[in-house]
Amino acid sequence: MTTNDDVASENSPQMTANLEKIEALSERLIKAVSGKSSTNPALSGPDRELFSNALNSYWHEMMQNPAKMFEHQAAYWGKSVKHYVEAQQVLSKGKLEAPSDAFTTDKRFSNPLWNTHPYFNFVKQQYLINAEAIAQAVDDVEDLDSTEKQRLKYFSQQIIDMMAPTNFLGTNPDALEKAVQTEGQSLLDGLENLVADLEANNGELIVKLADEKAFQLGENIATTPGKVIYRNKMMELIQYSPTTETVHETPLIMFPPWINKFYILDLKKQNSMIKWITEQGYTLFVVSWINPDESYADVGLEGYIEEGYLAAIREVKEITGVKQVNCIGYCIAGTTLSLTLSLLKKRGDKSIKSATFFTALTDFSNQGEFTPFLQNDFIDGIEAEVNEKGMLRSFIMARTFSFLRSNDLVYTPAIKSYMMGEAPPAFDLLYWNGDGANLPGKMAVQYLRGLCQSNEFADGGFTLMGETLNLKDVDVPLCSIACETDHIAAWKTCYRGVQQMGSTSKTFIVTQSGHIAGIVNPPSKNKYGHYTNDDLKLDADAWLEQAEFTQGSWWPRWESWLKKRSGKQVPARLPGDSTHPELCDAPGTYVMINSKV
């Protein structure tokens, strides 16, 4: 009988070191997981009623039409048995080769071994047979309403994606090959990555998507020169330095979403929209929102409007000496810009000369891919969460967005980091994506209940700040940019909202690509084109069918539209004035506040 010391003495120095490292990592892993902060369980999945209703519907269908159910079951059994027999026949002939693969290409199975090795080919094909059977079973459920059916499809697909053989070491040839090639070092590195991610997020497993050490705000991203010239509890107001001798008289205020940080529009010099706008001769102000903590629990949408939008408009008018400003609102900030425009209409205030909306939803009658998360069980869970924590923590929103594209944003990064032992890439966009922000409790519930669930702004009126706000009150000249493959703010839904706005001067542009890449699309890249059509009375499908396609960025087209609404040329304005001293350099201090799990 040998002792552990005897075994260790027979191992190589590298093996001994690795064993010691595993022991240390295991201790850290246990400590990190034991420190996990609590999260309302309702936010981790649908209530049991959804699956109970689906099961009841399935059994009801089986009783009513047993032949159909048996047909589907027999087809599944037949495919599985046939698959097994074919594999056995090949092996019985002494051939270590896979049977012919009848399935289409899936990038998860790009390793040649999935097609050439009998074991991996068998695992892959059986997984795809199982996935097809689950999807068919969901399609066969007929007694659920459309919303429940959509949710059932979504959560069933999550199960299918989670059970992919690529997600497990023993059935992932890429991970196994690398483990052999590196003598197990890749697995140790992967365990180190796993433990580090858990420790960084208080026990919550959030896959790190980018190398955080590769970026420093103000040094290699968010570097456009400017100054913070105003600050309150909700935001810092940045005025960017001019790059032209003259500028348009009417200043431009950009309101980014407060779910993430503003520097998505100022990543690198090559793709910085902020830099590009200053180069076109505009006095540009950008709001950088606070990353709220629990002390902001009682801040609602009215707080963002009063101390964000209205405060920024007031200060910019004072600094520049003008009566009107142009505004941009991106995503949720575009939704809130619409609310602000309705409020100003009620008050007879004409401070906003024109409005630009980036991927902004204003009519929520079709909840799109967010339908699974906008039902009462999830929203009830969010209310319970914010009542306890005072805020909706950023990782909860990030997790929700990620699972809308789980293979790309959850499983593939996890495989590379935890099974392959790879370091996350130095990718600025992914760095920004991981730099989320919390939402104040009151604001989150107002938005989810009043706007997303009840659609009050477009249907009947949204009560806020003593007024009933309506979408039809948005009557300033406007330009709305939506993205063709946007899964967060579907372009057809953005279009429907614009159709209901009261303005007589509307421009609508659909750019190729998604929620971020479609907006951050500089002319120099000549990558994505865009669609335009002046007839906004058409339904969305007809609008796109009859639209004119232009290759290249939409930025110059929008700037041409903005130029007509920006007045004469005046001498370029330096940041601040005697009553607005420079508080600090851009990108400011609020953007540096990180979220904590």
CA–centroid distance for 47 within its chain: 24
DSSP-assigned beta bridge partners for residue 356: 328, 479
What residues does each domain of the chain span? 50-167, 226-592
pTM of the shown model: 0.86
pLDDT of 519 higher than 90: yes
Q: Which residue has the higher pLDDT, 337 or 28?
A: 337
pLDDT digits (tens, 9 = 90+) for 135-163: 888 887 777 778 888 888 888 888 888 88
pLDDT for residue 119 = 84
Q: In this predicted structure, what is the pLDDT of residue 8? A: 41
Predicted local distance difference test score (pLDDT) of residue 232: 98
pLDDT of residue 4: 42
Q: How far apart are CA 503 and CA 536, in angstroms?
A: 12
Catalytic residue status for 331: yes
**DSSP helix/strand/coil, 222:** coil
- pLDDT of 212 reads 87
**DSSP labels for 296-341?**
GTT--HHHHIIIIIIHHHHHHHHHHT-S-EEEEEETHHHHHHHHHH
**Band of pLDDT at residue 335, cut at 50, 70 and 90:** very high
- How far apart CA 400 and CA 544 sit, in angstroms, is 30
Annotated catalytic residue within 331, 479, 483, 494: 331
β pairing state of 325-330 and 391-392: unpaired
pLDDT at 282: 98
Q: Where does the pLDDT of residue 529 fall: very low under 50, low under 70, confident under 90, or very high at 90 and above?
A: very high
pLDDT at 198: 84
Segment (H or E) for 52: helix 48-64
Determine the 3-state secondary structure of 571 from DSSP.
strand
CA separation for the pair 195, 297 (Å, rounded): 32
pLDDT at 533 over 80: yes
Q: Which residues does 16 contact at the CB level (< 8 Å), separation at least 6? A: 8
State the DSSP string of 489-548.
Answer: S-HHHHHHHHHHS--S-EEEEEESS-TTTTTS--GGG----EEE-S-TTS-HHHHHHTPE
Which pLDDT belongs to residue 107? 87
Percent of the chain predicted with pLDDT > 70 = 85
Residue labelled with tokens 């503003």 = 262
Going by C-alpha positions, the residue among 475, 522, 482 that lies closest to residue 500 is 475
Q: Phi/psi of residue 570, each to 5°?
A: -135, 165
> Residue 181's pLDDT is what?
87
Rounded Cα–Cα distance for residues 353 and 373 (Å): 36
% of the chain residues with pLDDT over 90: 57
Residue 443 near residue 306 (C-beta atoms within 8 A): no
Give domain 226-592's CATH architecture.
Answer: 3-Layer(aba) Sandwich (3.40)
Cβ-contact 421, 415 below 8 angstroms:
no
239: Cα within 13 Å, side-chain hemisphere: 24
Host H or E run for residue 19: helix 13-34
The pLDDT of residue 594: 85
Least confident span in 5-9, 271-275, 327-331: 5-9
Interstrand relation of 569-571 and 548-550 (parallel, antiparallel or unpaired): unpaired
Would you state the pLDDT for residue 1?
Answer: 40
Question: Residue 501 pLDDT more than 80?
Answer: yes
Place of tokens 């002494």: 94
Cβ atoms within 10 Å of 2's Cβ, excluding its own: 9
- In 3D space, the residue among 553, 546, 504 whose CA is nearest the CA of residue 530 turns out to be 553
Computed over every residue of the chain, the mean pLDDT equals 87
Q: What is the pLDDT of residue 199?
A: 82
How many angstroms separate the Cα of 233 from the Cα of each of 95, 99, 139, 290, 306? Answer: 71, 65, 50, 7, 11
pLDDT of residue 2: 42
| Residues with Cβ within 8 Å of residue 291, at least 6 apart in sequence | 261, 437, 438, 590, 593, 594, 595
Mean pLDDT of 17-42: 72
pLDDT for res 586: 98
* CA dist., res. 386 & res. 379, Å (int): 10
Mean pLDDT of 518-540: 95
